[in-house]
Structure 1
């Protein structure tokens, strides 16, 4: 069978299908991790994209719990793959702290902690004093406290390269620089039209995330591209021992420090209009400049944080902030739209999708991610 897309989802799908005995060809039009996977900040967040109270209000408590557990299982599974496949230097078991900058944000964060704890999820609230004990630089006046959650930090390129290497050992063929024009069910299999000619397969998985609409037109209004942007600073003495986020702008900011002291920091999308073509992954100068002001605004004694490099990536988002996983034609599956949480959801959804393909049985955890949850007009745009 064929997997289209060489990001985390595509590579994990190929890996799990091969482990289940399938012969797999993976096609990628550029290079492995060319999209959001290789351009994110490396957070593995075992939470829903929306706040947990919002997820409960939107989807109901049973579905929200299931989605939260799916993210937790995915984060654990990613750690297991990294360990099992000996992917060196790619994964650190560090949690994250989500800062509150106003009393209202603090109240909502404490409410989220209380609801999460009541449903059995590991979270805690840190007041300003407790945060000050964990961060070896004075806190700015705006910081009220923070919500601490488990999680991990990764070198996402190293992770996907490592899983790709493991997939090759399992017999997966990976071809890069191959453009796919269409994927068509024939009744007896699937034909994938590529820049190198047609490829015939028993089944196909389209895992192109922000580019799903190109191959599945009815997904063009469901899964949309949104550009994220990130900078890397020069190496600095250790200040941040865990990942952090802060709502300085409407779209939020996030950062962590790598083992060599580099700070990877993203966000600030709200400071300018969205690019006309987010899938082009071209950094915007206004965002680049704004990102360099984030840490000095929150931690006044940290000093300037000039970027030594910056990049942009095409995130895939949906209106309800949940991914899409479904069979969109006979023997053709599509998966994408992870709303910034692909590093946690990706490995487990890829595994469950491989099970679905191999057994013709969809796991109950995937039911809330079906395409038919969207109105017909949204699917037809």
Structure 2
């Protein structure tokens, strides 16, 4: 769920001077540092803090996405001197461009996790994912990140009759995690969504959706308040040294640090070959519709976000106080031109809601997420002593939070909870061949979705 340049229309909330008349912010700047997304439009332009001299720290974190920022905040709260280095800007990648869904779980399904690690370990991991969701909610409240604008509720939708399966999952969540969701079908579901495609849903009112870029900036402000330093436009060139004594070299200076943590996500380069070989950059796409609250309200009567159960899922939510629809979906192994992808996203929207055929696209964006072969986060320590926390695979709002926490606990010696992720290590993804296999798998998922919906009466 990430981004590329804004496009399509200038109308519907954007005048000739580049003002968004809905959020009353000026986004006409010629700067191309941050890709034009809905999130960026509704926030003031930040001051960029570039590294100006060499320094020392207890820990140097490479990457100012949500994993890096969450771990930095936790480490700063523990009294450590933290320096975060970012090649672009805070939350420049997936962390500031995604759909904004904060839910439990991982990119990999629970059944596959259980098959790999067993029931007890799988349940413990799912519990961590719930904890991650709560960490985000607590940070928003405690740090008073008002611009994040969290909205409760996510509807998990099935496009075929699935009452038995969803009720079973509802009961399982309540029994094992004291986590309560509601099953909706028939008239109850149609009160929320006017689509003939949908049959059953689980309504999770513990989960929420929000502005992820605002949240990331709120974390950064809290880190700086605690004395931590975040240097943007400061790309790391090399990391030299050994465990306990590292030199993190940039073109703007060097950070001498006891520990190094790599949290570079979907834009991981070859700085650390073991990480570079073990993730796939997967592009996903998001569009924002024009301002048309009456038309949108005619089919969507809920503030909850919607996530369908397709393997190649659509996800969407009403934003801007009901005036626009933010719609995401589709993945590719390369970042395609958003102009073309917005047409496909619009087609998906209209297939779900024919009533929205006249609702135009205002802008669209794309970008890269990091996926491991096993579709689980990669959290641990390399043989040379460097720490890593990455590969959140499109489910990063909760998993970056818990990942950042457990890796910070490991660095400070508070716990070894990060070892719960050790069964999901740095597996080689197969390079170009691996990318082709992932793309083929995604196309297969699309066919399986269609077959399942037809076979089960969807």
Instruction: Give me the TM-score of the superposition, normalised by structure 2.
Output: 0.74
SS class of match (2:288): strand
Q: CA deviation at 1:128?
A: 2.7
Q: What is the match of residue 333 of structure 2?
A: 274
> 2:170, 2:109 → 1: CA distance?
10
Q: Is 1:155 matched up with 2:202?
A: no
1:144 maps to what in 2? 199
Is the 2:377–2:424 Cα contact (8 Å) retained in structure 1?
no
Provide the rounded CA distance (Å) in 2 between the counterparts of 1:377 and 1:310: 32
What is the rounded CA distance, in whole Å, between the counterparts of 2:137 and 2:427 in structure 1?
38
Instruction: Give the match's secondary structure for 1:95.
Output: strand
2:367 and 2:101 map into 1 onto residues whose CA distance is 14
Kept after mapping to 1: 8 A contact 2:290/2:361: yes
Q: Which residue of 1 aligns with 2:379?
A: 325
Query: Offset of 1:344 from its aligned partner?
Result: 0.8
The answer to whether the 8 Å contact 2:159/2:199 transfers is yes
8 A Cα contact 1:14 1:167, kept in partner: yes
> How far apart in 1 are the matches of 2:128 and 2:374?
17
1:118–1:56 Cα change, 3 Å = farther
Identify which range, 292-301 or 34-43, moves more after superposition: 292-301
- Cα separation, 2, equivalents of 1:236 and 1:51: 36
Shift of 1:157: 0.5
Q: Which moved more, 1:170-179 or 1:287-296?
A: 287-296
The worse-fitting range, judged by mean Cα deviation, of 211-220 and 154-163 is 211-220
User: For 2:191, what is the secondary structure of its paired residue?
Assistant: helix
The higher radius of gyration belongs to 2
Deviation by residue 1:32-75 (Cα, 9 ceiling, x = unmatched): 11100111011111123233334333432212211211111111
Deviations 1:277-317 (A, max 9, x none): x4xxx544442111112232222334433221111121111
Shift of 1:111: 4.3
Contact 1:28–1:178 (CA under 8 A) maintained in structure 2: yes
Q: SS in structure 2 opposite 1:22?
A: coil
Alignment check: 8 A CA contact 1:49 1:339 kept: yes
C-alpha distance 229-115 of structure 1, shift in aligned 2 (>3 A): same
Residue 156 of structure 1: CA displacement? 0.5
Are residues 1:350 and 2:410 paired? Answer: no
The 3 A distance-change label for structure 1 pair 257 and 337 is same
Q: Counterparts in 2 of 1:233-252, with a 5 A limit?
A: 233-237=289-293, 238=297, 239=300, 240-247=302-309, 250-252=311-313
1:119 maps to 176
Task: Verify: 1:258 aligned to 2:316, yes or no.
Answer: no
The alignment's C-alpha RMSD in Å is 2.4
CA contact (8 A) 2:292 2:359 kept: no
Question: Using the alignment, how far apart are the partners of 2:101 and 2:426 within structure 1?
Answer: 31
CA distances 1:203-260 after superposition (whole Å, capped 9, x unpaired): 1111101233522211223222101110111233343411102256x52110111243
> In the alignment, what sits opposite 1:369?
421
Decide whether the 8 Å contact of 2:69 with 2:219 is kept in 1.
yes
Residue in 2 aligned with 1:98?
A: 156
The match for 2:341 is 287
Show structure 1 runs of 5+ residues with no match: none
Task: Please state how far the C-alpha of 1:107 moved relative to its aligned partner.
Answer: 5.4
In structure 1, how many angstroms separate the alpha carbons of the residues matched to 2:290 and 2:374?
Answer: 37
Distance 1:188 1:132 in 2: 59
Cα separation, 1, equivalents of 2:275 and 2:426: 12
Secondary structure (helix, strand or coil) at the match of 2:315 reads strand
**Alignment partner for residue 314 of structure 1, among 361, 368, 373?**
368
Deviation at 1:327, TM superposition (A): 1.2
Task: Find 1:10's aligned residue among 63, 68, 72.
Answer: 68
Structure 1 53/130 Cα, relative in aligned 2: closer, same or farther at 3 Å?
Answer: farther
Distance 1:89 1:59, change over 3 A: same
Distance across 1 between alignment mates of 2:121 and 2:419: 9
Q: How many residues align?
A: 365
Residues 1:106 and 1:267: Cα distance change in structure 2 (over 3 Å): farther
For structure 2, the 5+ residue unaligned runs are 1-58, 435-458
Counterpart CA distance in 1 for 2:276 and 2:147 is 37
For the residues of structure 1 that align with 2:271 and 2:181, how far apart are their CA atoms?
40
Q: 1:53·1:115 contact (CA, 8 Å) conserved in 2?
A: no
Is this contact kept in 2: 1:7–1:34, CA < 8 A? yes
User: Does structure 2 conserve the Cα–Cα contact (< 8 Å) formed by 1:16 and 1:354?
Assistant: yes
Q: TM-score, normalised by structure 1?
A: 0.88
Further displaced range: 183-192 or 223-232: 183-192
CA contact (8 A) 2:274 2:426 kept: no
